[in-house]
Amino acid sequence: MAKMSIQERIERTLNNSTAKVFVRKEFDKFGSYDQVGRVLRSMMAKGLLVKAGYGIYVKAKKSSVTGNNVPAIPLEQIGREALSKLGVKTDAGDAAKAYRDGRTTQMPMSAALNVGNSRVTRKIGFGGKTIRYER
């Protein structure tokens, strides 16, 4: 059996994974930093992944409106999964908690995550929208 290329190994990992968000560190075992970077860029060009921040990649789907590649999950979920992979515990923001608990009927306008005392400055977002951090 022929040895699989780095591209094939990473694609197989993405297809077999139930996760939607990936941190670049997860692909380090497949090759050097530059090799992995080239493969990830080619996968973004193919429409399999979109970039949501420094070292954060999300499985992509075609937008039914524009036809462009967009993340397969909502922005708040991207932030929650990415930060948990980076070791930061998160909770819903104050506005989302109030809506969820029925204390208000106003839906939160922007994605916000409560990160407690963690010092997070990483920008996570897509298409001009980013995650806000609450303490």
State the pLDDT at residue 61: 87
Provide Rg for the chain, Cα atoms. Answer: 17
Q: What is the pLDDT of residue 98?
A: 84
Question: Do residues 45 and 65 both lie within one domain?
Answer: yes
Quick one: 26 and 38 in the same domain? yes
Tell me the residue range of the domain where 13 lies. 1-73
Sign of CA dihedral 72, 74, 80, 82: positive
Is 38 in the same domain as 83? no
Average pLDDT over residues 100-120: 83
CA–CA gap between residue 80 and residue 101 (Å, rounded): 19
Predicted local confidence at residue 2, as pLDDT: 66
41 and 88 co-located in one domain: no
Least confident of 9-13, 19-23, 107-111: 107-111
Q: Per residue in 35-65, pLDDT tens? A: 999 999 999 999 899 999 999 999 998 888 8
Give yes or no for residue 66 having a pLDDT over 90: no
Residue ending a domain, among 47, 73, 99, is 73
Indicate whether 1 pLDDT > 60. no
Choice among 3-7, 37-41, 53-57, 82-86 with the minimum mean pLDDT: 3-7
